[in-house]
Amino acid sequence: MIDLSGMMNALIASPMIIPAAFAGIAWGILGGALPGISPSITMALLLPFTYGADPTAAVVLLASTYLGAEYGGSIPAILIRTPGTNSAAATVIDGYAMKEQGKAGEALGISLYSTLLGSVFGVALLITLTQPLAAVALAFQPTSYVGLGVLGLSVIASLSGESLIKGMMAGLIGLMIATIGTDPVTGNNRFTFDDPELLSGIPPILVMVGIYAVAELFEQASQPGWRQTNTADAAIKMPDALMRARLRVSQIIGAIIGFIEGLTPGGGGTIAAFLSYNEAKRWSKKPEEFGHGSPEGIAAPESANGAVSATALIPMMGLGIPGSNSAAVLLGGFLIHGMTPGPMLFTKHYDVVMGLYAGKVISLFALLVVAYLILRPCIWLVNRPKHYLMAFIFALVLSGVYAIHNSLFHVGIALAFGVIGYAMKYYRIPTLPMVLGVVLGFMVESNYRRALVLSDGDHMTFVEDPIAACLLIVAFGFILVSLVRHFRDSMKSDQKVKSA
């Protein structure tokens, strides 16, 4: 099914594809690395410049920007504990821990290597199987999304750290935050305090930047003895053979979950990142290292992000249905050149599709080259004296958070979540479950209610849909295993207390 000569011909017909791929990657990394500038905004900013351009080069530019932005988010996640994009939030956990251990260069190498592998896998599927795979997206009903969401939430049970109860509390608070805004079925206002800024809810990136980046700034400022500048590696270090062998399982997990999430409209990369983080932990030989600088904890979410950035194009091109905001901007890129994505795209504009495929392949090389060039200055920047570094992180957060909706109110919310994150650390409440609740809450609620309207209130509908049934069984299995492990551990610690 690979039409290599078709791709070559498209490349010869519009050689602008090559610079477009490089420019897209560079621009994407810049936008992705800035907190608050999402991949879709980064892409949308380019749309006006593509009007006059060659259509093939235009879509290649946008698609490369998507990959660049998904990768770019991981750079500040690792270096300054600030997720640049929603889907980089899972990378913060182990990426920043590795940086704190002076292994920033290694962490960046793992993230680049994993993003590349994930997107190679995704691009291969995109090129070979777009039309048959697009049909898979159709298998997802509202019930299936509930299954997917519950599976995501079940991760709370295993990522709650020392206290399951506190993890549940944090998860519930996350779900509560997700109910802020207008109701998905009736359009009523909920928990908005009559403030129009809250009508569309609290963007998850505000929560993430608040509880990770801002809380870390509070924490650093409140260290009694000033922590010294970290002596991080001076340059990016790609994983050696031993490390590559260790990362393999987590990367396969990440790539497969990313592939599935990219395919299902509404799934989105953030869920893929967290799900694959959790699965990588479950299947790891060293699960205890997760959260304390595990290389696999970077590899899994980053390979998932890489895969999503390619497979999200499958339902967009094959069905004309964008699965995410970023895919929707790319759809816009097709539309403004008079092409309508959908089943007919492949017959009507075959050359453009081939050009896009060729561009996706080139963008993989572009990512490697551009990342190598920019990572060294990035590492240099974070090794500046600590008071400057902290001041600039703070300035970056204040600027980026404003950019989401041009709203100072949002800057205030991010600061508030900084306080909440700091308080949660003080009370030893895990923050990860809250992020999951915020990310998944709306999807679970809207589809749960939709499914019940369809089934006339019958909950059996979740068992009748095979996808939902499988996902729910897996989710409850996970919860059960975590509960058993939790009670076994707490029994042990009780005995220790008694014997002491």
CB of 214 to another protein, least distance (A): 8
Q: How far apart are CA 309 and CA 231, in angstroms?
A: 33
CB of 26 to another protein, least distance (A): 12
If one counts every other C-beta atom within 10 angstroms of the C-beta of residue 475, the result is 20
For residue 182, what are the contacts with CB-CB under 8 A and spacing of at least 6? 188, 189, 190, 192, 199, 200
For residue 384, what are the contacts with CB-CB under 8 A and spacing of at least 6? 229
Q: Would you say 120 and 244 are in contact if contact means Cβ atoms under 8 Å apart?
A: no
Nearer to another protein, 107 or 414 (CB): 414
Site membership for another protein, residue 110 (CB under 8 A): no
Site membership for another protein, residue 468 (CB under 8 A): no
Nearer to another protein, 195 or 240 (CB): 195
Site membership for another protein, residue 159 (CB under 8 A): no
CB of 234 to another protein, least distance (A): 21
Q: Which of 245, 335, 483, 484 binds another protein (CB under 8 A)?
A: 335
Residues 304-333 that bind another protein (CB under 8 A): 319-322, 325, 327-329, 331-332
Supply 131's token pair: 């039309």
If one counts every other C-beta atom within 10 angstroms of the C-beta of residue 293, the result is 20
Site membership for another protein, residue 450 (CB under 8 A): yes
CB of 401 to another protein, least distance (A): 10
Nearer to another protein, 104 or 169 (CB): 169
Longest dimension (CA), the chain: 78
Ramachandran category for residue 229: left, alpha or beta (phi over 0 → left; psi -120 to 50 → alpha): beta
CB of 211 to another protein, least distance (A): 14
Ramachandran category for residue 486: left, alpha or beta (phi over 0 → left; psi -120 to 50 → alpha): alpha
- Give the number of C-alpha atoms closer than 13 A to the C-alpha of residue 370, restricted to the C-beta side: 26
Nearer to another protein, 362 or 424 (CB): 424
CB of 323 to another protein, least distance (A): 9
Q: Which of 31, 32, 203, 430 binds another protein (CB under 8 A)?
A: 31
Tell me the chain's radius of gyration from C-alpha atoms: 22
Q: Which of 228, 338, 488, 499 binds another protein (CB under 8 A)?
A: 338
Using the rule CB under 8 A, give the single segment among 39-47, 58-66, 235-243, 474-482 that binds another protein.
Answer: 39-47
Q: Element (H or E) spanning 190, and its range?
A: strand 189-190
Q: Which of 214, 280, 300, 361 binds another protein (CB under 8 A)?
A: 214
Site membership for another protein, residue 449 (CB under 8 A): yes
Nearer to another protein, 25 or 364 (CB): 25
Q: How far apart are CA 233 and CA 282, in angstroms?
A: 30
Site membership for another protein, residue 456 (CB under 8 A): yes
Nearer to another protein, 376 or 386 (CB): 386
Q: Which of 118, 265, 297, 355 binds another protein (CB under 8 A)?
A: 265
Residues 384-443 that bind another protein (CB under 8 A): 385-388, 390-392, 394-396, 398-400, 402-403, 406, 408, 411-412, 415, 418-419, 422, 426-429
CB of 20 to another protein, least distance (A): 18
Binding mask 164-203 for another protein (x = CB under 8 A): -xx-xx--xx-xx--x-xxxxxxxxxxx--x-x--xxx--
* Buried b or exposed e, range 186-214, using 16+ CB within 10 angstroms: eeeeeebeeeeebeebbbbbbbbbbbbbb
CB of 395 to another protein, least distance (A): 5
Helices 386-403/408-426 angle, 10° precision: 130
Nearer to another protein, 152 or 201 (CB): 201
Site membership for another protein, residue 34 (CB under 8 A): yes
For 430-479, give the DSSP string.
Answer: -SHHHHHHHHHHHHHHHHHHHHHHHTTT-TTHHHHSHHHHHHHHHHHHHH
Site membership for another protein, residue 26 (CB under 8 A): no
Q: Would you say 74 and 95 are in contact if contact means Cβ atoms under 8 Å apart?
A: yes
CB of 387 to another protein, least distance (A): 4
Q: Which of 28, 39, 266, 359 binds another protein (CB under 8 A)?
A: 266
Nearer to another protein, 33 or 280 (CB): 33
Q: How far apart are CA 153 and CA 443, in angstroms?
A: 11
For the chain, the residue count is 500
Q: Which of 22, 113, 140, 290 binds another protein (CB under 8 A)?
A: 140
Nearer to another protein, 177 or 253 (CB): 177
CB of 55 to another protein, least distance (A): 12
- Alpha-carbon dihedral 265, 248, 278, 468, rounded to 10 degrees: 40
Using the rule CB under 8 A, give the single segment among 85-93, 113-121, 158-166, 366-374 that binds another protein.
Answer: 158-166
Q: How far apart are CA 466 and CA 454, in angstroms?
A: 16
Which residue from 53, 17, 14, 35 is spatially nearest to 403, judged by alpha carbons? 35
